[in-house]
Amino acid sequence: MDETSVTVELNRLRAVANRVERSANALSRFRLPELRQVDLPGSALTQLPALIADYFDDVIDQMTDWAQKARMTAAAFERAEQENAARLDES
């Protein structure tokens, strides 16, 4: 059985997480104006902004969540490396 090793560049992972979070924050500043049903009686378009806004909010939440999880992953890899190095020093 072949062993597969994984190399993770923690600084690059953190940098990407920061970029994704900044993008999510920038996107959160864009909001669609509400269309009032009284302005467009009988139009299905009045529901469209709410549908898009919900999707948009979901995308922003997922981007922010990914950035947080990427940082947590980087920290976990760093801790594991430090613990392994300490164990090797002890032996």
Express each pLDDT in 36-80 by its tens digit: 666 667 776 667 777 787 888 899 999 999 999 999 999 999 999
pLDDT on residue 35: 60
Q: What is the mean pLDDT of the chain?
A: 85
How is the chain split into domains, by residue range? Answer: 13-27+43-90
**Confidence at residue 87, expressed as pLDDT on a 0 to 100 scale:** 87
- pLDDT score for 46: 66
- Phi first, then psi, for residue 37 (nearest 5°) are -60, -30
Give me the pLDDT at residue 61, please. 95
- Within 13 Å, how many C-alpha atoms sit on residue 78's CB side? 11
The pLDDT score that the predictor gives to residue 28 is: 87
